[in-house]
Amino acid sequence: MRPGGPAREVAKRLTPEARRAQIIAVAERLFTTHPYGELGVPEVARALGITSGLVYHYFPTKEALLVAAVEARARELLESCLPDAGLPVLEQIEHGVRGYFDYCEAHSLAYRNLLRGPTASEPEVVRICESARVAIVEHFVQAVGVASKGMPATRLALRAYMGFAEHAIVSWLEHKQVARATLENMCRTMMLTALRVGLSSDASSPSSARQLALLEQACQQRFSTT
């Protein structure tokens, strides 16, 4: 199609927000299918059929474009897996794990590339991924009512759970060794175990011992009726 033709006229009518989202989407696709070092703003512009100057108008560098793409996916993941804080803790765990799986299955390529793709070792990607993990850990520390305390063992146990969940889900997305329901149940059980182990290890804190007792009581009530 000739320059300035119908496609370019449609492109001109995009709002700034829509244009920015379009650039991010195309950049993300290129970053996940090509070595990061071989790509630059000109390649992104060419794939969009626009000028490099227009891309630079929204993103001053290739690095800024990569960060925007990864941050967008991280926000979407957190929106999917951080449940209503007003729910009982066991329901938060169930909703959180289900939401995490919903996102990962719906955005399988994006999720796998976030952890294992060509840009996975880039410092800014590592930083954004770790920030998302911390947000999930802190949400569930808050869920058991000990966020105002130090609770180093509880936080460490939940962070270790995150490592398990990420590797298990990536492997499942690639090979589907077990049913999704089976892996979801494994992840719920692992998160509960992480909370129990963490709270037990932080048991020198009265609040930790109290929350552990409440968690155990909730588990007994919930699972004795299923």
Letter string b/e over residues 152-166, b meaning 16 or more CB atoms within 10 A of that residue's CB:
ebbbbbbbebbeebb
Cα-based distances in Å from 69 to 19, 104, 110, 126: 13, 16, 10, 13
152 Cβ partners below 8 Å, 6+ apart? Answer: 202
Question: Quick check: is 78 in a domain?
Answer: yes
In this structure, the answer to whether residues 93 and 173 fall within a common structural domain is yes
Please indicate, yes or no, if residue 54 is contained in any of the structural domains.
Answer: yes
Domain CATH code at residue 34: 1.10.10
Domain with residue 200: its CATH number is 1.10.357.10
In terms of DSSP H, where are the helices of the chain?
6-12, 16-33, 41-48, 52-58, 62-81, 89-106, 108-116, 123-143, 152-175, 180-201, 206-224
**Prediction pTM value:** 0.81
Q: Predicted confidence band at 34 (pLDDT cuts at 50, 70, 90)?
A: confident
Q: Identify the domain boundary among 23, 39, 60.
A: 60
Which of 41, 60, 79 is where one domain is finished?
A: 60
Q: Which of 22, 44, 60 finishes a domain?
A: 60
In sequence order, the 6+-apart residues with CB closer than 8 A to the CB of 123 are: none
Q: Write out pLDDT tens, residues 135-150.
A: 999 999 998 887 767 7
Residues 153 and 107 reside in one and the same domain: yes
Residues 40 and 120 in one domain: no
Instruction: Give the C-alpha distances (Å, rounded to integers) separating 218 from 91, 214, 225.
Output: 10, 6, 11
Q: Is residue 1 part of a domain?
A: no
Position 109 scores a pLDDT of 86
Work out the widest C-alpha separation in the chain, in whole angstroms: 72
Answer yes or no: do 25 and 74 share one domain.
no
**Any domain includes 178:** yes
Print the domain residue range for 33: 6-60
Same domain flag for 133 and 220 = yes
Question: Is the same domain home to 74 and 176?
Answer: yes
With a cut of 60, say whether residue 224 has pLDDT above it. no
Residue 21 has which token pair? 């989202």
SS3 for 128? helix
Tell me the DSSP string of 146-178. -TTS--HHHHHHHHHHHHHHHHHHHHHHHH--S
Please check whether residues 87 and 162 belong to one and the same domain. yes
* Domain assignment of residue 13, yes or no: yes
Residue 80's pLDDT is 95
Are 56 and 75 members of one domain? no
Through-space distance between the first and last CA atoms of the chain, rounded to whole angstroms = 62
Same domain, 22 and 113: no
Q: Residue 222 has what DSSP assignment?
A: H
Region 74-86 average pLDDT:
94
The total number of structural domains that make up the chain? 2
Based on the fold, state whether residues 97 and 144 are members of the same structural domain.
yes
List the single range of 123-132, 147-156, 161-170 with lowest mean pLDDT: 147-156
101 and 41 housed in the same domain? no
Cβ(198)–Cβ(151) below 8 Å: yes
Pair (55, 143) in one structural domain: no
